[in-house]
Amino acid sequence: MSKEKNEENLMQKIVSLSKRRGFIFPSSEIYGGFGAVYDYGSYGTELANNIKSTWWKAMVQKNQNIVGLDSSIFMHPRIWEASGHVGGFSDPLAECKECHFRARVDHVLEEEGVFADEKMTEKEINKLLIENKDKVKCPKCGKSNFSEAKNFNLLVQSNLGNFTGNWDKKPTYLRGETCQGIYVNFKNVLDSTRVKVPFGIAQIGKAFRNEITARQFIFRKREFEQMEMQMFVHPDNAMDIYEDWRNKRWQYYLDLGLKKENLKWHQHENLVFYAKAAWDIEYKFPFGFKELEGIHARGDYDLTQHSKFSGKDLSYQDPKTNEKYLPHVVETSVGVDRTFLAVLTEAYIEEKLEDGSERVVMKFPKKLAPIKVAVFPLLKNKPELVKKAKEIFENLSDKRMCEFDDNGNIGKRYRRQDEIGTPYCLTVDFDSLEDEKVTVRDRDTMKQERIEIRDLESFLEKNL
């Protein structure tokens, strides 16, 4: 059996399997699609849920000093002024004068090996664009004829509450990141739980950005989901706690089944003025190493801004020492969708089998597999087999996601389950009616063993 990870076309294969097997669909497909927006299908929803519950367990369940939050997508518009998003949350956009394609210029420059820092002003970006005029090619038509770049704000506006159409009123926004909901609830959490600094608030939720580049599948979506944890710490401990979280988050990805050689640290060199340190964990996606998670030491910027803009004192008083101070923030921030794509990339394997045939198998870690067990009656037209298989399905599905499949020959059913990464397939055959055993087939080794029906629950408890 030879294992292959054919890097070539890997992205296309993943996109096609995702659609064919109900992991990911392009949004609004019957209407011609809707750029950079995607829907999760039945197996995709299960996988995304498993990713979220694994994160929640690692962050909230296993840490006594981290509590959860579910804040709203809509918030007071002033929050986005305080955070700096209204003024500064933008990417440089230029239009190709030949084909009118709108491109994110820093990315186009990067493709040509010209590094454009994310903090550059419009003027600086345009200078780079002019200096590299002949090099910089339109990703769509290949010509080198761009307009001047303009900063394009990424916040998505809405007309929530604007019943009169009176646009003098300030616009509201769909949140551009989940952590602002955490900062503005800092006092509420402090007053309603028994947490003391250092403590964290964790949240999973949707965020929206008017991303210019609508490529790279679910890596860059306009509606996406973030899993963020903000730890509020004493300024003197901030860097130790920061280092601790860097280590924990690295280990988390190894535990998630991502291989060490596919992970890499990237340090931000030019920090924004308030940041104390910023590192990203990058993953080797089919299009190269790119950011998966950001781990940032943000100083007291966030609480300072919200104190200033809201007029509320957000300082913390230490109950033991009575010291009053504004806590610093250590942040870990990752997208559900980017984790999803990393997990798909890692799991996708093409194997040549001994009989010369090939199989595609998604070797998800068992805890992430959308379906844990598939139950098959050997033949669908034998009521005794179907009845017994259904009984087993009923019992096992109390504790985990199972699938019942009686369609086609067993070999085909195995292939279908391999493609969605189901760790175990159980087959009820005629012997089962006599000996109360079923055949259990392992996804990875493809080995089969007979197990007593009454032992199935403990077998799965042990092996899943």
Phi, psi of 462 (to 5 degrees): -75, -40
Long-range contacts of 143-146 (CB under 8 A, 24+ apart): 143/96, 143/98, 143/99, 145/96, 145/97, 145/98, 146/94, 146/95, 146/96, 146/97, 146/103, 146/105, 146/108
The alpha carbon torsion through 299, 305, 307, 311 (nearest 10 deg) reads 170
- CB closer to ligand ATP out of 226 and 432: 226
Smallest distance from the beta carbon of 110 to ligand ATP, in angstroms?
A: 11
Element (H, E) at 180: helix 179-184
Smallest distance from the beta carbon of 233 to ligand ATP, in angstroms?
A: 19
The type of residue at 451 is I
Phi and psi based region of residue 165 (left: phi greater than 0; alpha: psi -120 to 50; beta: remaining): left
Smallest distance from the beta carbon of 219 to ligand ATP, in angstroms?
A: 6
Smallest distance from the beta carbon of 281 to ligand ATP, in angstroms?
A: 8
- CB closer to ligand ATP out of 50 and 83: 83
Distance CA 369, CA 252 (A): 17
Smallest distance from the beta carbon of 59 to ligand ATP, in angstroms?
A: 15
Max CA pair span of the chain: 80
Distance CA 389, CA 452 (A): 13
Smallest distance from the beta carbon of 380 to ligand ATP, in angstroms?
A: 42
Residue nearest to ligand ATP (CB): 335
Smallest distance from the beta carbon of 207 to ligand ATP, in angstroms?
A: 7
Q: Quote the Cα angle for 384-401-262, to 5°.
A: 130
- CB closer to ligand ATP out of 228 and 419: 228
Place of tokens 């003027």: 123
Q: Quote the Cα angle for 49-55-60, to 5°.
A: 120
- CB closer to ligand ATP out of 177 and 403: 177
Smallest distance from the beta carbon of 208 to ligand ATP, in angstroms?
A: 9
Strands 38-40 and 24-26: antiparallel
Smallest distance from the beta carbon of 310 to ligand ATP, in angstroms?
A: 23
Q: What spatial distance separates the first Cα and last Cα of the chain, rounded to whole Å? A: 24
Phi, psi of 288 (to 5 degrees): 110, 175
- CB closer to ligand ATP out of 199 and 224: 224
- CB closer to ligand ATP out of 110 and 313: 110
Smallest distance from the beta carbon of 162 to ligand ATP, in angstroms?
A: 26
Which residues here bind ligand ATP, judged by CB under 6 A?
A: 177, 209, 211, 220-221, 224, 226, 291-294, 333-335, 337-338
- CB closer to ligand ATP out of 339 and 432: 339
- CB closer to ligand ATP out of 179 and 425: 179
Report the DSSP beta bridge partners of residue 375.
Answer: 404, 426
- CB closer to ligand ATP out of 76 and 266: 266
Smallest distance from the beta carbon of 37 to ligand ATP, in angstroms?
A: 10
Distance CA 257, CA 422 (A): 16
Tokens of 414: 């195995």
Smallest distance from the beta carbon of 428 to ligand ATP, in angstroms?
A: 43
Distance CA 143, CA 149 (A): 16
- CB closer to ligand ATP out of 119 and 454: 119
Tokens of 22: 């109900």
Burial of 84 (0-12, 13-18, 19+ CB in 10 A): middle
Contact present, 234 and 297 (Cβ < 8 Å): no
Distance CA 335, CA 183 (A): 19
Element (H, E) at 301: helix 301-310
- CB closer to ligand ATP out of 188 and 247: 247
- CB closer to ligand ATP out of 83 and 333: 333
